[in-house]
Chains A and B, each alone.
Chain A
Amino acid sequence: MTGFLRRLWSANNVTLTFLSMILAVIIGAVLIIISDADVLAKFGYFTARPSDALNASWLLVATAYGDLLKGALGDPAVFSAWFAGTATWQQALTPLSETLTYAAPLVFTGLSVALAFRGGLFNIGAQGQAVLGCLAAGVAGFTFGLPIVLNLIVALVAGVVGGALWGFIPGFLKARTGAHEVITTIMLNYTAGLFLSWLVIQKGVQAPGRTDAISKSVAESAMLPSPGGVLRVHLGIILAVLVTVGVAWLLNRSAFGFELRAVGSNPHAAKTAGISVSKTYVLLMAIAGGLAGLGGAVQVLGTAHALTPAVAGNIGFDGLLVALLGRNRPWSTFFAALLFGALRAGGNRMQSFSGISLELVTVLQALIVIFIAAPALVKAIFRLRAARAAGLGASLAKG
C-alpha cells in the first residue's frame, strides 16, 4: 500500500500532468480574484474580518470554474430537466457537442506537430499550414459544385494538399540548405495569413454584395455532415479518430515511422544506418503539413463554412500546446485535444455566465504546458518523491 502511494507520488507522467493542471488552476484562480474589484475591496479589511474576503473569493472562483465544467461536460440541471421531460436531449448534450466541435481541428494540428517532433523537427508552421488548408478547402468547397459525397472528399483532399505544400517548403529548405525549420515556418505562418487576407477580398472569392472580408459560403454538399440544430458537432471528430489511428500506425508500425523515429533520436546514427535523412525530413514535413491542412479544412467545412482572414483562429498554435501536452504520442495528443476543446467550450460559458474573459482559458492552457515542459519545476514545487505531507502544504501556499 505504501509502495503504491509512493509510486503514485513519484514523478510519473500521469502524476505530473495532473499536478500541472492543479498548479494552472490555482494560478488561474489567483488571477480571477485579483482582477475583481469587489473582492479586492473585501481584502482591504482582511485582518478585521478575513471570512468576508475568503468567502467572496471562494464564491467567485467556484462559480467561474463551475461554469467552465458545465460548459464543457454538461449542466446537471439541464440533465435532470431532460429526465423530467422539460428539456430535449439535444439541449443536454450541447456542451459535449461544443467540446467535440472545438477539439476536432486541434486533433489534426496537434498530430501534425507531434509527428514532426518525433522526427526531430519543431513544426511551428502548423498555423500557416492550417491556414493554407482552410484556404484550399474553402475555395474547392465553393468552386467545383460536384455531387454530394465527392464534393466533400475533393474539398478535404484540397485542404490536405494545401497544407502539405506549405509543409513541404520548410522540409525541402531544411534538407537542401539546412535552413532551420523553426525560422522558416514562422515566416511562412505570417505569409500564409497575409495571403489569405488578400485572397478573401478578391473578385470571385468575396461573397457577393459584401464589403467586408468574407468569402462565398462553401456548397452544402461540401460541408461535413452534422446533426444540426443546437448540436454543432460534425463528422470531423470521427475523422479525427480515424486519422489518429492512422498516425499511430504510421509512427509505430510502418517502415517510414521507424525511419522518422530513428532520424528524430539521432540523425547521424540514422544516416550511418542507411536512412536518407533529407528525404525523411521532406516527406515528414509534407505529411505534417497535410495533417495541419486537414485540420484547417475541417474547421472550414465543419464549423466556419466561409473564409475570413481569421478563419483558422489559433488552431495551429493551440496544436503546438496540444502536442506538448500529449507528449507527442498520437493517442495522448488526441485526448489532450479533447481537453483543450473542453476548456474552450467551457470558457465560452464561463465568459457569458460569470463574465470571466475567455482569455483565461489561453492562460490555463499555456500554464499547463509550461509546467509539463518543465517537470523538474513541478517536482521541485511539490517535492515529489520526498513524500512528506507537510512539504506539500508548504509548497502549495507558494503556488
Chain B
Amino acid sequence: MSTATVENLPEVVAPEPFWTRQRRLGLALILIGGLAAVLFGSLAPGEDARFTLSEDSEGAALSIDGQFGAILFGLLAAAAGGVLFAGLAKRWSNALLSAGILAFVLSFLCWQVAGEFMPLVDTTDGTLQLALPLILGALAGVLGERSGVVNVAIEGQFLMGAFGGALIGTMAGSVWAGLISAAIGGVIIAAILAVLSIRYLVDQTVVGMVLNLFALGITGFLYERLMQPDAQTYNQPPQMPEWRIPGLADIPVIGPVLFEANLLVWIALALVVLIHFGLSRTRWGLRTRAVGEHPTAADTVGIRVRGLRYLNVLLGGVVAGIGGAYFTLVATGSFTKNMTAGAGFIALAALIFGRFTPVGAFGAALFFGFAQKLATYLGAIESPVPSQFLNMLPYLATLIAVAGLVGRVRAPAADGLPYVKG
C-alpha cells in the first residue's frame, strides 16, 4: 500500500543555486580579463615583445606587439570566463579556468616585455630550478598527510638537509655523500616528528612548528661554531654536475631544461610519477590512503596504522632532505644561516594548493616557481611592479584556495589526528 505511493512520486531534483562555483569563477575571470585588457593594454607601449627561444636576445623568437598582445590575451581570459559563466562546457571547467589564468598571465607578460625580450630557455630553466625544492618538499608533505600526519616541519627538514649536505659533502669531498647526508638530515627531523606525534600523541602542528625553530637554532649554532671559522673544511661542498643526454638536449626550449640538467631534476620528476602511481595503484598506496582517511577501519582489516605512518613520515623526511640538498649542492656553493627563508612554507602551500595530490602539488610548485622567477626577471628589467607582490602570490593563491573561493580543498579525513588503538 505504502510502496505504491512511493513509486508514484515524481523524481525530485534539488534546484541548483544560481551562483554555482562555475558562475563565480567565470565572473571573476571576466572581471580580471577585462581589467587586463583595459589596464595592461593602455599601459603597454606599442613595441614588440620578444620571447626568444634561447638564453639571450639572439636567435629565433616569438614576437608580438605589446599593446595588441595585452589586449588580445586579456579578452581571451574574459572569453574563457564568459564560457564558464554561461554554464557551457561544464566538463571542461578546470581546463577553461587554467586557460583563463594562462591568458591573464600572458597579457601581463605582453605589457611587461614590450620593448624588451624574455629568454624562454632561461625562464623555463629558472622556473624548474626554483620549483625543485618546492616539488620535493610538497611530495614529502603528500607522503605524510595522506597517511594522516600533518607535516609543517618541511622548512626544518629543508634546513637540516641543506646543512647536512654542505657539512658532510665538504668533509667527504663528495657530492653524493652530501646528498645522502642531506636525506639523513631530513630523516632526523622526520623521526622526531614521527615519534612525538605518533607515539607520544603530541599535537602535530605544534611539534612541527617547534621543530622548525629547533632546526633553525641547531643549524645556525653549528654554522657559527664550525662553518664560519673554517669554511674551507666544513662549508665548501662540491656542486652537483650537469649531465647532458645527447640528441634529446637539442629539442628547443625543453631540451636544455630537461635533458641538460642535474640529477635532482630527474629525481624530482621521477618521484612525482612514482608517488602518483604508488598512491593510486599499489597496495602501499591503498593502505596509506585508508590510514589517512579512516584509521579505525584500516586497523580492523589488519593494517598496521602506526607502522605505516612511521614509514611514510620517514620516507617524507628522505624526500624533503633531498629537497634541502638543492640549496647547498645546486643553488649556492655553501650553507648560510636560515638560507631556506620560508621555502618550506611555500612547499606546504603548494601541497595544499595541489589538493594533497602528487601531480597537483607538482603543478602548484611549478606555478609558484614561475612566480619567483618572474619576480627576479621583472627586477632585472626594472619593471614598476614590485617583486614583493609577486613573491606574495603563492601565499595569496593558497589563501584563496583554502577559503573555498576556487573550490574547497579537502584534506584527508584523519589528517592531524593521532591514532590510539582501542
Interface residues in B190-240 by Cβ distance below 8 A to A read 192, 196, 200-203, 205-207, 209-214, 216-218, 220-226
Q: Is the CB of A366 within 8 A of B224?
A: no
> Nearest-CB distance from B304 to chain A (Å)?
21
**Cβ contacts under 8 Å, B202 to chain A:** 373-374
Interface residues in A1-54 by Cβ distance below 8 A to B read 31, 35-36
Most central of A183, A188, A377 by chain B CB within 10 Å: A183
Q: Is the CB of B214 within 8 A of A370?
A: yes
**Cβ contacts under 8 Å, A362 to chain B:** 213-214, 216-217, 220-221
Interface of A is mostly: helix
Taking CB as reference atom, which chain B residue is nearest A202?
A: B386
> Nearest-CB distance from A399 to chain B (Å)?
15
Q: Is the CB of A191 within 8 A of B214?
A: no
**Cβ contacts under 8 Å, A143 to chain B:** none
- B402 in complex: contacting residue of A179, A195, A374, CB < 8 Å: A179
The stretch that binds A, out of B93-101, B104-112, B275-283, B390-398, is B390-398
Q: For chains A and B in complex, what number of residue pairs have CB atoms within 8 angstroms? A: 130
A377 to B221, CA, bound (A): 25
User: Taking the complex as formed, is B349 at the interface, i.e. its CB lies under 8 A from any CB of chain A?
Assistant: yes
**Cβ contacts under 8 Å, A197 to chain B:** 388
User: Taking the complex as formed, is B379 at the interface, i.e. its CB lies under 8 A from any CB of chain A?
Assistant: no
**Cβ contacts under 8 Å, B203 to chain A:** 122, 373
Taking CB as reference atom, which chain B residue is nearest A190?
A: B395
User: Taking the complex as formed, is B370 at the interface, i.e. its CB lies under 8 A from any CB of chain A?
Assistant: no
Q: Is the CB of B399 within 8 A of A188?
A: yes
A266 to B337, CA, bound (A): 42
With contact pairs A186-B152, A186-B348, A317-B213 given, residues A373 and B218 touching in the complex (Cβ less than 8 Å): no
> Nearest-CB distance from B396 to chain A (Å)?
6
**Cβ contacts under 8 Å, B207 to chain A:** 370, 373
User: Taking the complex as formed, is A194 at the interface, i.e. its CB lies under 8 A from any CB of chain B?
Assistant: yes
A180 to B342, CA, bound (A): 20
Q: Is the CB of B398 within 8 A of A36?
A: no
User: Taking the complex as formed, is B389 at the interface, i.e. its CB lies under 8 A from any CB of chain A?
Assistant: yes
**Cβ contacts under 8 Å, B214 to chain A:** 362-363, 366-367, 370
With contact pairs A183-B402, A186-B345 given, residues A360 and B392 touching in the complex (Cβ less than 8 Å): no
Q: Is the CB of A359 within 8 A of B221?
A: yes
**Cβ contacts under 8 Å, A191 to chain B:** 392, 395-396, 399
Interface residues in A75-131 by Cβ distance below 8 A to B read 122, 124
Q: Is the CB of B196 within 8 A of A370?
A: yes
User: Taking the complex as formed, is B241 at the interface, i.e. its CB lies under 8 A from any CB of chain A?
Assistant: no
With contact pairs A197-B388, A370-B214 given, residues A359 and B224 touching in the complex (Cβ less than 8 Å): yes
User: Taking the complex as formed, is B315 at the interface, i.e. its CB lies under 8 A from any CB of chain A?
Assistant: no
Q: Is the CB of B213 within 8 A of A35?
A: no
> Nearest-CB distance from B218 to chain A (Å)?
5
User: Taking the complex as formed, is B87 at the interface, i.e. its CB lies under 8 A from any CB of chain A?
Assistant: no
**Cβ contacts under 8 Å, B196 to chain A:** 370, 373-374, 377
Interface residues in B299-331 by Cβ distance below 8 A to A read none
With contact pairs A31-B218, A187-B399, A374-B200 given, residues A369 and B210 touching in the complex (Cβ less than 8 Å): yes
**Cβ contacts under 8 Å, B392 to chain A:** 190-191, 194-195
A194 to B225, CA, bound (A): 31
Q: Is the CB of B221 within 8 A of A31?
A: yes
**Cβ contacts under 8 Å, A187 to chain B:** 349, 395-396, 398-399
**Cβ contacts under 8 Å, B404 to chain A:** 177-179
With contact pairs A124-B209, A370-B196 given, residues A190 and B217 touching in the complex (Cβ less than 8 Å): no
A188 to B342, CA, bound (A): 12
A23 to B70, CA, bound (A): 62
User: Taking the complex as formed, is A58 at the interface, i.e. its CB lies under 8 A from any CB of chain B?
Assistant: no
With contact pairs A197-B388, A357-B225 given, residues A366 and B205 touching in the complex (Cβ less than 8 Å): no
A324 to B208, CA, bound (A): 13
Q: Which residues from chain A sit less than 8 Å from chain B, CB to CB?
A: 31, 35-36, 122, 124, 173, 177-180, 182-184, 186-191, 194-195, 197-198, 317, 320-321, 324, 356-357, 359-367, 369-370, 373-374, 376-377
Rank and list the top 4 A-B pairs by shortest CB-CB distance, nearest first. Answer: A362-B217, A359-B220, A357-B224, A366-B214
Given contacts A360-B221, A370-B207, A374-B200, 14 further A-B contacts (CB under 8 A): A31-B218, A179-B402, A179-B404, A180-B402, A180-B411, A184-B402, A194-B392, A198-B389, A320-B210, A359-B224, A361-B217, A365-B213, A370-B196, A370-B211
